[in-house]
């Protein structure tokens, strides 16, 4: 069954929704974004999160000591690198942590898919100039549906209740990652989250 990550949680209501709906992963953004949370805020939110839901920290081009502090302080299950971090950066993290690492790849064309990484999983989403995620814009899934990735794949970028089933059928990812697609007026919407999760789990 396709795993589900709900990203950009920042309110206690979001945690309550997650505890009721039980996605496999929830994401907390620690780099510049309208969904950014501080370490202290994330710690308070995680304290109320069901222990069975895995915690993902999202970082964009951050210094290693910042990632180390957040990851150890919050006991994160996954480090998601969503910027321009290179293989040297990933290798250094792997020397420090046993924590799973996801590397985001922003796709413009099929040639962007030809690369190697030491990350544990690959997250793909659409390329939007000057933006690192959370744009609500999808890419052409046909460009990846026949591509054989060497690592488990997380599909992101523009997913919502209307298109997630199509995305899963075309790409067959390990997991789907949604943020703005389950929001109303910039905030997580329980009914949209519920519908999204039900659609994924019905496949």
Task: Give the bridge partners for 106, in sequence order.
Answer: 125
Predicted confidence at residue 145, as pLDDT, reads 63
What domains, with CATH codes, occur in the chain? 3-202 (3.20.20.70)
Contacts of 91 (CB under 8 A, 6+ apart): 118
Single pTM value for the model: 0.91
pLDDT score recorded for residue 11: 98
Average pLDDT over residues 141-152: 74
d(CA 170, CA 88) in angstroms, rounded, equals 32
Phi and psi torsions of 82, nearest 5°: -115, 15
Hey, what long-range contacts does 84-92 have (CB within 8 A, 24 or more apart)? 85/61, 87/116, 87/117, 87/118, 89/64, 90/117, 90/118, 90/119, 91/118, 92/64
Of 26-30, 77-81, 127-131, 172-176, the poorest mean pLDDT is in 127-131
User: Of residues 114 and 5, which shows the higher confidence score?
Assistant: 5
Residues in a beta bridge with 57? 28, 79
Range of weakest confidence among 19-28, 96-105, 127-136? 127-136
Give me the chain's average pLDDT, please. 89
d(CA 97, CA 72): 9
CA distances from 41 to 11, 23, 70, 106, 195 (A): 9, 21, 12, 28, 27
């Amino acid at each position: 069954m396709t795993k589900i990550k709900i990203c950009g949680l920042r309110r206690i209501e979001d945690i309550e929704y997650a505890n009721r709906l039980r996605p496999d992963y929830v994401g907390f953004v620690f780099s510049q974004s309208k969904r950014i949370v501080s370490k202290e805020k994330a710690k308070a939110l995680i304290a109320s999160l069901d222990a069975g839901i895995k915690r993902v920290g999202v970082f964009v081009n951050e210094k290693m000591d910042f990632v180390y502090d957040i990851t150890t302080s919050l006991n994160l299950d996954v480090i998601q690198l969503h910027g321009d971090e290179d293989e040297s950066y990933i290798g250094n993290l792997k020397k420090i942590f046993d924590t799973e690492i996801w590397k985001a790849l922003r796709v413009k064309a099929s040639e962007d898919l030809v690369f190697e990484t030491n990350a544990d999983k690959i997250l793909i989403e659409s390329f939007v100039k000057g933006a690192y995620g959370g744009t609500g814009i999808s890419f052409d899934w046909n460009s990846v549906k026949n591509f054989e990735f060497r690592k488990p794949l997380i599909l992101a970028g523009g997913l919502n209740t209307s298109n997630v089933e199509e995305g899963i059928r075309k790409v067959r990812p390990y997991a789907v990652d949604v943020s703005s697609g389950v929001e109303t007026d910039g905030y997580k919407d329980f009914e949209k989250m519920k519908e999204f999760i039900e659609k994924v789990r019905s496949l």
